[in-house]
Structure 1
């Protein structure tokens, strides 16, 4: 009987510990409409107080460059959590930091593309401190990534960071940051007057909805968008965006360091369509690629090759003209409390989320280059939103490119009507609760309204 009493006490103690832990760790989802929340009011005020872009003093000048940031040693492979920090063994293709610097006498900005899964928040924080070394501030930098799931990891501390990117290594953060700064320096050294043009071509047949299995969905954004810069020498650069997830390497195949299809695409564009190319993942938050091939390498070659063919037919039709329009807006975002759901409609409390992930600032970005506006988001942003922006972009008379991974990372942002669907994108990776879709759209449209001051 004594043993039974001891076991009962131990069992009761464990139950009490579990109950207490759940009480301090979990809370019900807060479904208060976002416009009634303090985070909305603060961000809205911040949006209204953003300064008017400085007037142009000259036509746009630009320069571009890339810097190889491939580590000289093996690292974790950033991407699929199932790899549990597995290191790549073979460099299939090198990875780069790419930069385009633009200036119109009143504004200078840098567009930076990283051959990584995302723009690591740790790199963002390092750049905020070090960008003055190249004469810039974070508010003048537009970031993005190719979203390859077979690139360098090791750039994120914490439990969630380890699942996504493997064990943390500060040397990797420093290497990426150094590469970005070097690419910006080199781009600044090559600046010259440019003509600017925009083109696009459809590749909707190359993507499918990742959440369609859970119920009806709306059309995705399947456009390849191209911003062309051309110097008087004939040298040209292409800024390319597309919404296909760079997941042609299978999650079990973590042996190779690779840029996936965006790397293969950029390499081909630089041989046939431009002297320099920079790829930014578009609104990838609901998309999967439609591969064709028997191996990962064949799928990448076929996928990139078909996209390249469409681009090669489009580029000669892009008309470029001198332009002085250049403006940049950065909107720091406040968010609802962290809301990762674990059991039914119960979510973890903020202290636990920040303990396992970290607390990183995030922004929305708007960049106008000529008659094109880029909107950058700190997340996997759903392609279903893009159609909602078209009426406003048409009224403003601008072309629109929406990209993901501009700095701090907050998970997936998908349409609010899918919030209660049991999918990876809408449940596991929705980290900041309901109504984020409407909140992001409102703030992004506000940036689009404000970027050139015209109503």
Structure 2
């Protein structure tokens, strides 16, 4: 009988412990409209106070370079899912840091493209300390990635970081940082006058909406967007963005270190279309690739090959022209308290989330090159929201490229109307609560208005 009483007491103690744990770690979701929240007022004020970019002094100059950041040792694979930090064993293709440096005599901006899952916040922290060595600050930098789920991991500490990218290794953070600095340094060394042009082609048939099974959805941004830079010596660079998730390598195929389809695409573009190419993952939130092929390698080859064919048809029609327009803006974002949901509409408390993941600053970035504006987001940004933002750019006579993974990472940002759908994108990976879709759209539209108002002197006036 004493044993039964012991078990009952033990069970009661466990129940009380669980109830105590729940009471101190869970609270209800806060559904206060974002316009009524302090974080909205803070970011709105920062947007209003952003300084106007200085007027151009010279026509646009540009330089580009890349640095191999493939580790000489195996590392965890950065890519969620079944990989769970499992080490890759075979280098299918090398991993690079790419940089394009722009200058118009008064503004210097750097575009970074990384062959990684995201731009690691730990790398951003190192860059903020090291960029002054090159006469730059983080505010000069616009960053993006290819979002390969079979690339180098090990760059994120904490429990969530381990699930995303495996065991943390400071050597990897340093190696990525050094590669970025090397690419920037070499790009600065080959700067020369460059003309700029824009083009795009449709590839909507290559993507699908991953949350479509949960109910009706809107159209996705299926355009391949291109910026072409041309120097007087005939060398050229092509900046390419597209919204298809780089997940053609299946989750159980983690033996390979690979850039997935963006790597295959960039390699072909550099063989046939441009001297240098840089790929940026576009608005990839909930956007999956339509795979065609019997193996992962066939799918990558077919996917990249078809995108390349479409780019090769449009690229010759892009006519680069002289320009001096260059501006870059950084808008630090305040956010709602962390809201990862568990047990219905209950969320874990902020202190618990920060202990699991960390507390990283997040920015919106805007980079204007000629008549094209790149807007960079610290998340998997929804392709549906990107479609909704395009009219605001067209009304201003601007081309708009929206990219993800700019140096912070706050999970997925999807349309607010999907907040209560039970999907990976809208529940598991929504870390900062309701109304972020409209909040991001408002701030990104505000950045567009700010950067549109920048009217540099004409190239002729600058030249004279």
User: Is the pair's TM-score, using the shorter chain for normalization, greater than 0.5?
Assistant: yes
| Structure 2: unaligned runs, 5 residues or longer | 456-464
State the Cα RMSD in Å.
0.9
Displacement, 1:14?
1.2
What do the CA deviations read for 1:94-143 (whole angstroms, capped 9, x no partner)?
00000000000110010000000000111111111111111110011000
Q: Give the structure 2 partner of residue 266 of structure 1.
A: 266
1:325-336 equivalences in 2 (<5 Å): 325-336=325-336
Q: What is the DSSP-based 3-state SS (H/G/I as helix, E as strand, rest coil) of the residue aligned with 1:220?
A: coil
Q: Is the 8 A contact 1:327 1:452 kept in 2?
A: no
Give me the whole-angstrom Cα distance separating, in 1, the residues matched to 2:239 and 2:277. Answer: 6
Q: Is the 8 A contact 1:221 1:383 kept in 2?
A: yes
Give me the whole-angstrom Cα distance separating, in 2, the residues matched to 1:326 and 1:65. Answer: 19
Give me the whole-angstrom Cα distance separating, in 2, the residues matched to 1:148 and 1:4. Answer: 55
Q: What is the DSSP-based 3-state SS (H/G/I as helix, E as strand, rest coil) of the residue aligned with 2:178?
A: helix
Q: Is the 8 A contact 2:47 2:331 kept in 1?
A: yes
Q: Give the structure 1 partner of residue 286 of structure 2.
A: 286
What do the CA deviations read for 1:364-407 (whole angstroms, capped 9, x no partner)?
00000001000000000000012222222112111110000000
- Runs of 4+ in structure 1 over 4 Å off: none
Q: What is the DSSP-based 3-state SS (H/G/I as helix, E as strand, rest coil) of the residue aligned with 2:452?
A: coil
What do the CA deviations read for 1:15-39 (whole angstroms, capped 9, x no partner)?
1111111001001100000000000
Relative to the length of structure 2, the TM-score reads 0.97
1:151-166 equivalences in 2 (<5 Å): 151-166=151-166
Q: Is the 8 A contact 2:396 2:452 kept in 1?
A: no
Distance 1:136 1:454, change over 3 A: closer
- Count of residues paired in the alignment: 455
Give me the whole-angstrom Cα distance separating, in 1, the residues matched to 2:428 and 2:96. Answer: 30
Q: Give the structure 2 partner of residue 240 of structure 1.
A: 240
Q: Give the structure 1 partner of residue 357 of structure 2.
A: 357
Q: Give the structure 1 partner of residue 299 of structure 2.
A: 299
**Structure 2 residue 43 is the aligned partner of structure 1 residue 43:** yes
Q: Give the structure 2 partner of residue 2 of structure 1.
A: 2
Q: Is the 8 A contact 2:199 2:315 kept in 1?
A: yes
Mean Cα deviation higher: 75-84 or 254-263: 75-84
Q: Is the 8 A contact 1:63 1:188 kept in 2?
A: yes
Give me the whole-angstrom Cα distance separating, in 2, the residues matched to 1:237 and 1:364. Answer: 25
Displacement, 1:454?
6.0
Q: Is the 8 A contact 2:52 2:454 kept in 1?
A: no
Relative to the length of structure 1, the TM-score reads 0.99
**Structure 2 residue 338 is the aligned partner of structure 1 residue 344:** no
Give me the whole-angstrom Cα distance separating, in 2, the residues matched to 1:439 and 1:14. Answer: 42
Give me the whole-angstrom Cα distance separating, in 1, the residues matched to 2:53 and 2:9. Answer: 68
Q: Give the structure 1 partner of residue 249 of structure 2.
A: 249
